[in-house]
Structure 1
Amino acid sequence: MNDFDIPQECDNTPPRMEIVVPCYNEKEAFPHCLKVLGEVLCNLISTQKIGAGSKIIFVDDGSKDDTWDQIKEACQKNTFVSGIKLSKNRGHQNALIAGLANTTADVVVSIDADLQDDVRCIETMVEKYQEGNDIVYGVRDDRSTDSAFKRISANLFYSLMEKMGVNQVSNHADYRLMSRKAVDCLLTFKEQNMYIRGIVPLLGFNSARVYYSRDDRVAGESKYPLKKMLSLAVEGITSLTITPLRMISALGFITCLISIITAIYTIFEKITGSTVEGWTSVMISIIFLGGVQLLCLGVIGEYVGKIYIETKGRPRFFVEEKRGDNNEFK
């Protein structure tokens, strides 16, 4: 693990920056992540793009490997590194919120530990911030490295979210820069079901976009398989829009309309004596209506479940340990 001599002689004019990095079972990727982000900080401070005292905050989201041990070692060797360990795995979004809640810098950059997002964009983000933007989104402009399934599913995901009324930036995950003002406003959102990439645009501050091509993961495996991607999509839709409930209302109206038309047709056929008693039509009607009812109950149940969780007002996470910045505790 490399140490870096971060210059301390810069004046206080440039903004101080903190980079928040959620980590979950990233023992293979962590050394590379520390090295690359350390070099980014060193270069930006040396060129006075950011101020002295800028640092990296690694958030261990209840990893089962030795990721936290590596973070503690990095904190001991490098003054620009801090670590936060959550008591258990709370998910990427909560880990990111935990990191943001422990920042004090003028600007905060969030990035995943796999560093598939282009770190060279951080300098451009700082420049966009100095131009008056409180939020700078890192947006992918090339998905050629993804599999065909990944590209298709991602496009369907963003298209579906847009149609559902979720205001988010397409091809943007959680790689962004936020000003102190924007971070403080984001932290006022207290709901349990946080979908950060959908909430940030709601803040309404001046924003800009930086486009880049994503790299391959240097080590380890993706922490977002298809199951988690689908779960994130459901989380985003049900946390930010009631469109599915309105769709249920529309579906109910259409079903009732079809039922009335069918009833009129059946009565007409009965009067004319053209009816043929049969089992198939009855079973199809029962199965169809039963399926629609179960689907509607499932969607309503998802919303009711979220209301139930929110009313409890439980903490989103617990911090078990901190390292670095002279505030270590257990």
Structure 2
Amino acid sequence: MKEIAIVIPAWNEASTIGNNLSEINRCIKDIEATKFSLLVIDDGSEDGTAEIVRKISNEADIAVSLICLSRHFGKEAAILAGLEHSQDYDAVIVMDSDLQHPPTLIADMVRDWQSGFQIVEGVKNSRGNESLLRNILVRGYYRIFTFFTGLSIEGESDFKLLDAAVVSAYCDLTENNRFFRGLISWLNYPTKKIPFNVPDSSRPDSSWSVSNLFGYALSSVTSFTAFPLQIVTFLGGITFFISLVIGGKAFFDKLTGNAVDGFTTVILLILMIGSILMFSIGLIGVYVGKIYDEVKKRPKYVIDQIKSDQGDYK
């Protein structure tokens, strides 16, 4: 009998985690020849999420384990913690804790995995009751990511079934700054995509603001490729070309006696070059910061406590 772990990163999800675990249990209990275990990663929640999971684990008719991180490390770290503690399973399913990912698809994912696909991922066919602005920003982000990396992740989510070989390969990566969706696509194992619609009722007001989305986009792109650094070179080339044109014109006007006061032009050039320099320094600073994070070699997450079928331990 194959064993599959379902990894569920959670951060302040007390209002939905109970319903989600119950729905998952309902959807997987009739899947034949497969034994499931649930692993919830509490990413430093402050609303009692861990306590709810503990209570459920004591009452559920399925194995429910809980890993509590010492603080909020972020979803990428929580996913990594779940995968690293699930390497003994034949496959691992990663899904959100807020019912955004429909558990009814798990049976189809398992079926496709059993047919030979090593990655089965849910792809959003619709984005539920997401606002128009957010929808536009997300689609724009997908295009930017594809432009810079050459990988298309449009519509993809963290809702994935990964074969043990994929989990092992992902955990063997040594980088601290991770982008789960991008790295799984980069591994390039045989993949099957299953479209799904995000239920409106499962998406309350998102805690992700526009600034959060911008930060996520910047982090994922710069964590995955150094190509944006070429923008600095490109802008430098454009500035040099403009300088040649304006300098040539100024020299010609000087020779012909048509030189005029260039105060406005000088001010505009200073502002343009200054803006380009500040942008370039900021972009380089992002990469330097990521290098700094890597060389410190701090752990990607710190576990405060683990609750499994064998009891609590640290």
- TM-score norm. by structure 1 comes to 0.91
Report the CA distance between 1:327 and its aligned residue: 5.1
SS at match of 1:150: helix
The answer (yes or no) to whether the contact 1:28–1:219 under 8 Å persists in 2 is no
1:124-147 residue CA offsets vs partner (Å, 9 max, x unmatched): 111111111100110011236322
CA distance in 2, matches of 1:291, 1:125: 49
Distance 1:314 1:245, change over 3 A: same
CA distance in 1, matches of 2:209, 2:150: 22
1:94-150 residue CA offsets vs partner (Å, 9 max, x unmatched): 111111111122111111011112221111111111111100110011236322112
- Match of 1:32? 19
Q: Once superposed, what is the RMSD of the aligned Cα atoms?
A: 1.5
SS at match of 2:92: strand
The answer (yes or no) to whether the contact 1:29–1:219 under 8 Å persists in 2 is no
Q: Does 1:250 align with 2:234?
A: yes
* Alignment counterpart, residue 310 of structure 1, candidates 294, 299, 302: 294
- Match of 2:3? 16
SS at match of 1:160: helix
* Alignment counterpart, residue 178 of structure 1, candidates 162, 165, 181: 162
CA distance in 2, matches of 1:327, 1:221: 36
CA distance in 1, matches of 2:128, 2:14: 27
Distance 1:220 1:59, change over 3 A: farther
- Equivalent residues in 2 for 1:104-115 (5 A)? 104-115=88-99
1:249-274 residue CA offsets vs partner (Å, 9 max, x unmatched): 11111211111111111100111111
SS at match of 1:26: coil
* Higher strand proportion (structure 1 or 2): 2
1:148-181 residue CA offsets vs partner (Å, 9 max, x unmatched): 1122111101011111125242111201100011
- Match of 1:83? 66
The answer (yes or no) to whether the contact 1:135–1:208 under 8 Å persists in 2 is yes
Report the CA distance between 1:43 and its aligned residue: 2.2
Report the CA distance between 1:313 and its aligned residue: 1.0
- Equivalent residues in 2 for 1:120-269 (5 A)? 120-143=104-127, 145-218=129-202, 221-269=205-253
Whichever residue aligns with residue 88 of structure 1, its letter is R
Residues paired across the two proteins, number: 312
Q: Structure 2 unaligned segments of length 5 or more: list them.
A: none
Distance 1:220 1:24, change over 3 A: farther
* Alignment counterpart, residue 63 of structure 1, candidates 45, 66, 85: 45
SS at match of 1:120: helix
- TM-score norm. by structure 2 comes to 0.95
The answer (yes or no) to whether the contact 1:166–1:240 under 8 Å persists in 2 is no
- Match of 1:51? 34
SS at match of 1:33: helix
Q: Does 1:72 align with 2:59?
A: no
Report the CA distance between 1:41 and its aligned residue: 2.3
Whichever residue aligns with residue 16 of structure 2, its letter is A
The answer (yes or no) to whether the contact 1:23–1:112 under 8 Å persists in 2 is yes
Report the CA distance between 1:67 and its aligned residue: 0.5
1:22-66 residue CA offsets vs partner (Å, 9 max, x unmatched): 11001111111111011122122xxx1x423x1111110000111
CA distance in 1, matches of 2:25, 2:310: 19
SS at match of 2:313: coil
CA distance in 1, matches of 2:41, 2:201: 19
* Alignment counterpart, residue 28 of structure 2, candidates 41, 44, 69: 41
Q: Percent identity?
A: 28
Report the CA distance between 1:76 and its aligned residue: 1.6
CA distance in 2, matches of 1:51, 1:126: 9
The answer (yes or no) to whether the contact 2:9–2:41 under 8 Å persists in 1 is yes
Report the more deviating stretch, 103-112 or 291-300.
103-112
SS at match of 1:275: coil
The answer (yes or no) to whether the contact 1:168–1:197 under 8 Å persists in 2 is no
